[in-house]
Amino acid sequence: MALRKSAVKQAGCASVVQVRLLPTPADAERLATAVTICNTAATYASRIAWERRVFGQLALHRLIYRHLRDHFVGLGAQAAVRAIARVADAYTNRRATKKRAHIFRAHAAVPYDARMITFNRDARIASLWTPTGRVRAAYTGRDQDLKAIAELPIGECDLIERKGTWLLQIAVALPRPETADPFNGFLGVDQGTANLAVTCDGEVLPGKALPGTIENNGHIRALRDRRHRQRKRLQAKGTSSARRRLRVLSGRESRMMADINHQISKRVVREAERTGRGVAMEKLSGILGRVRAHRSQRRTLHGWAFAQQIAFTRYKAERVGIAFILVDAAYTSQTCPNSDCGHVSRRNRHARGMFRCQACGLAGHADHIAAINVAYRGADGWGAVNRPHATGLPSSRRAPESKPRASARGR
């Protein structure tokens, strides 16, 4: 029996596997009807929530549940509950920035919980709710995904229709191993736009370290620039053939970047596991508000997947019990990593990729120096978090640690 998302998180590290449904043409039409009615009901509920200014799930449920059941013929009880929950989630933490009611696309992914979908794991058949009754459809996928579904607790699923193909994205709970002590320190990773990731060992990723058609970071930037010019040209043309081409190209760049970030994160975690180290990365939240970029560089900076790379590395580290920590990014590329020096100055960066300490003369690539500083801060931060306290007070009641000198201002 499927579990809810909260139960999956409590059971272990949450992960998502994807399988392909194999419905008959008649069953595919019934699934399409279910997707349409669920999204239409969610949009209807969203408009009422916006007009009444009611955004809490419980209050919205009391306000609109019976009306949804009466207004949309065939909408099941649990489907209505999930539609209301989607509306509440859509407005969570985003009400202040929204200027109109949230609209759900007619063919957007629809969440299915334990009451709307069940699995026969031995026969590899899923039973899904539709307005006209249950649809039983076989599913197939990669061997590791099918094994995960067969052996692990299952959480909420998303039903997706993509160009005629029906997909199920299923949350599963992985066993959570204990975090190993990073007895050899931390593997520091510096992120950037010129170099996607540079480790404290001097390895530039993706670079030559990873296989595939992506040769280096310059190739990635050139490819992204070419895609941008192509989209701009097709959007300006505006013909039906141009729109068809845009649909073909949609998502191609994001899939490429996701694949590259997966490769980078996998390489980093494997190297940390091999050498008995943890992983330390920079905390880059709010960087877009701190960094002043030339207008020619804004699209590159705002379109770079920093958060995705951090998220991929974090969950891969949790899977294998590797310590992971985010550290302050301030002055990592302007600080001398020499323990006898530690000089911080903007003049240490006399060129974009070069570092030379004005005090002790230490020189090297700026991104490599930044990664070394990130590794040192990771070790200091991990020791501060796990240091036993003499009073025995819980960590939430202890006095805050004093911040290092380099964290006074933005990077």
Judgement on whether residues 194 and 161 belong to the same structural domain of the protein: no
Is position 156 within any domain? yes
93 vs 196, residue with greater confidence: 196
225 vs 317, residue with greater confidence: 317
What is the domain-level CATH number for residue 280?
Answer: 3.30.420
Residue 6 banded pLDDT, cuts 50, 70, 90 = very low
Strand (E) or helix (H) holding 131: none
Is position 229 within any domain? no
DSSP β-bridge partners for residue 4: none
Judgement on whether residues 161 and 253 belong to the same structural domain of the protein: no
pLDDT value at residue 395: 43
Is position 342 within any domain? yes
How big is the CA angle at 45 (ends 42 and 50), to the nearest 5 degrees?
Answer: 120
Q: Give the mean pLDDT of the chain.
A: 83
Q: Among 110, 140, 174, give the residue marking a domain's end.
A: 174
Q: Which residue has the tokens 């595919």?
A: 28
Judgement on whether residues 257 and 370 belong to the same structural domain of the protein: yes
pLDDT value at residue 300: 56
Q: What's the average model confidence in pLDDT over 193-203?
A: 85
Is residue 216 scored above 80 in pLDDT?
A: no
The lowest-confidence range among 72-76, 278-282, 290-294, 319-323 is 290-294
Judgement on whether residues 192 and 166 belong to the same structural domain of the protein: no
**Spatial distance between the Cα atoms of 26 and 32, rounded to a whole number of angstroms:** 10
pLDDT value at residue 174: 82
Q: pLDDT digit string (tens) for 123-152? A: 999 999 999 999 999 999 999 999 999 999
Q: What's the average model confidence in pLDDT over 60-64?
A: 95
**Spatial distance between the Cα atoms of 135 and 147, rounded to a whole number of angstroms:** 23
Residue 313 banded pLDDT, cuts 50, 70, 90 = very high
297's CB contacts (< 8 A; 6+ apart) are 193
Judgement on whether residues 193 and 167 belong to the same structural domain of the protein: no
Judgement on whether residues 27 and 127 belong to the same structural domain of the protein: yes
Q: How many CB atoms lie within 10 A of CB 272?
A: 28
Q: How many CB atoms lie within 10 A of CB 33?
A: 14
SS3 state at 31 = helix
Residue 393 banded pLDDT, cuts 50, 70, 90 = very low
Burial, 387: exposed, middle or buried (Cβ in 10 Å; 0-12, 13-18, 19+)? exposed
Task: Tell me which DSSP letter residue 207 carries.
Answer: G
Tokens standing for residue 201: 């060992």
194 vs 262, residue with greater confidence: 262
Please check whether residue 39 is in contact with residue 105, taking contact to mean a CB–CB distance below 8 angstroms.
Answer: yes
Is position 92 within any domain? yes
pLDDT value at residue 277: 95
Please check whether residue 188 is in contact with residue 374, taking contact to mean a CB–CB distance below 8 angstroms.
Answer: yes
Strand (E) or helix (H) holding 120: strand 117-120
The lowest-confidence range among 12-21, 69-78, 79-88, 113-122 is 12-21
The answer for 331, left when phi > 0, alpha when psi is -120 to 50, beta otherwise, is left
Is residue 406 scored above 80 in pLDDT?
A: no
Residue 226 banded pLDDT, cuts 50, 70, 90 = confident
pLDDT value at residue 374: 94
Please check whether residue 150 is in contact with residue 4, taking contact to mean a CB–CB distance below 8 angstroms.
Answer: no
pLDDT value at residue 13: 67
**How many structural domains compose the chain?**
2
Q: pLDDT digit string (tens) for 238-255? A: 899 988 888 878 778 778
100 vs 224, residue with greater confidence: 100
Q: Among 174, 204, 231, give the residue marking a domain's end.
A: 174
Is position 228 within any domain? no
Residue 195 banded pLDDT, cuts 50, 70, 90 = confident
Judgement on whether residues 123 and 199 belong to the same structural domain of the protein: no
Is residue 54 scored above 80 in pLDDT?
A: yes
Give the strand order in the sheet containing 110-112.
110-112, 154-162, 165-174, 13-22, 135-140, 125-128, 117-120
Is residue 12 scored above 80 in pLDDT?
A: no
Domain that holds residue 359: 186-217+248-407
Q: Judging by DSSP bridges, how do beta strands 324-328 and 197-199 pair with one another?
A: unpaired
Judgement on whether residues 140 and 205 belong to the same structural domain of the protein: no
Is position 231 within any domain? no
Q: Among 174, 196, 231, give the residue marking a domain's end.
A: 174
71's CB contacts (< 8 A; 6+ apart) are 41, 44
Judgement on whether residues 128 and 203 belong to the same structural domain of the protein: no
The lowest-confidence range among 184-193, 223-232, 327-336, 355-364 is 223-232
pLDDT value at residue 304: 65
315's CB contacts (< 8 A; 6+ apart) are 13, 14, 15
Judgement on whether residues 325 and 401 belong to the same structural domain of the protein: yes
Q: What's the average model confidence in pLDDT over 183-199?
A: 88
- Residue type at position 342: G
Q: What's the average model confidence in pLDDT over 54-65?
A: 94
Question: Does the predicted model carry a pTM greater than 0.85?
Answer: no
SS3 state at 292 = coil
Judgement on whether residues 169 and 209 belong to the same structural domain of the protein: no
Judgement on whether residues 11 and 119 belong to the same structural domain of the protein: yes
**Spatial distance between the Cα atoms of 286 and 317, rounded to a whole number of angstroms:** 24
Q: pLDDT digit string (tens) for 329-359? A: 888 989 999 888 989 998 888 777 889 998 9
Is residue 290 scored above 60 in pLDDT?
A: no
